[in-house]
């Protein structure tokens, strides 16, 4: 945990000692009363938190915030709904890499039962996004949906962004040669069984270029990491000191 994140509603209440963040502050960071640590307001600024007091039941913290972060480059992912464990990895790593929107979608070959996982029904997905943001030393988490079909998700997309669909079987264009992130990037990834022909027809009809990452067949989570890294290769980096 490179950054300890807080909801706005938590800023005026004590942090229970049972909270994993308290254990991290006391046992990993080894902070005592009067010490500071790096903190972030979810979807807001970075700053410093000070341990004002420590009681047997809670930590009292104060906060000093910096300026709001600049907007992230628009990076929208459409992902054929995968099994829950794969979705957890994607949520965490896509957030770490700076995805701004992730639509987990029903496709021709995706398993509809995956949408009923507790990952979605009890809101567990958000915890994985927060872990990814903390790893990246950033406060921003993507907008996440899991109820769209491929067609309905495409209907929500901005018209100006570049559109790429990763496809090992019918793509002739390497992603690195086709990606143009200046106006935002939309990347679609098929489910674990790949795109069906109906999916490809929808993608082509909506101006998606079929692109590939080479000859090797990758897991969705691996392809997603590689694709975002390529799309962001020219984005200036800002190094933080956790």
pTM of the model as a whole: 0.92
pLDDT digits (tens, 9 = 90+) for 11-43: 999 999 999 999 999 999 999 999 999 999 999
Per-residue confidence at 234, pLDDT binned at 50, 70, 90? low
Asked if CATH classification 2.40.240.20 holds for the domain at 4-65, the reply, yes or no, is yes
Per CATH, which fold does 75-231 belong to? Alpha/beta knot (3.40.1280)
Torsion 114-129-88-177 (CA) sign:
positive
Q: Residue 184: its pLDDT value, please?
A: 85
Is the confidence at residue 137, as pLDDT, over 50? yes
- Domain boundary assignment for the chain: 4-65, 75-231
Instruction: Write the CA distances from 239 to 44, 124, 164, 177, 242, integer angstroms.
Output: 18, 29, 29, 27, 9
pLDDT digits (tens, 9 = 90+) for 171-193: 988 988 777 766 789 999 999 99
């Amino acid at each position: 945990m490179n950054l300890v994140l807080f909801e706005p509603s938590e800023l005026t209440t004590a942090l229970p000692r049972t909270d994993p963040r308290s254990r991290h502050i006391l046992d990993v960071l080894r902070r005592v009363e009067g010490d500071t640590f790096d903190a972030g307001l979810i979807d807001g600024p970075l700053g410093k938190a000070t341990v004002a007091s420590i009681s047997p039941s809670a930590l009292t913290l104060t906060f000093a915030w910096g300026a709001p972060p600049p907007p992230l480059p628009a990076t929208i992912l459409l992902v054929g709904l995968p099994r829950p464990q794969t979705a957890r990895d994607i949520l965490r790593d896509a957030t770490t890499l700076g995805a701004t929107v992730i639509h987990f979608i029903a496709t021709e070959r995706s398993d509809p039962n995956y949408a009923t996982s507790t990952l979605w029904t009890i809101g567990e997905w958000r915890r994985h996004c927060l872990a990814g943001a903390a790893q990246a030393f950033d406060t921003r988490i993507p907008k996440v949906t899991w109820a769209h079909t491929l067609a309905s998700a495409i209907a929500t997309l901005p018209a100006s962004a570049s559109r790429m669909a990763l496809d090992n079987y019918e793509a002739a264009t390497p992603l690195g040669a086709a990606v143009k992130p200046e106006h935002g990037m939309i990347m679609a990834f098929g489910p674990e069984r790949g795109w069906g022909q109906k999916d490809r027809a929808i993608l082509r009809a909506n101006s998606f270029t079929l692109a590939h990452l080479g000859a090797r067949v990758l897991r969705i989570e691996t392809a997603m990491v590689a694709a975002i890294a390529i799309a962001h290769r020219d984005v200036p980096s800002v190094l933080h000191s956790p």
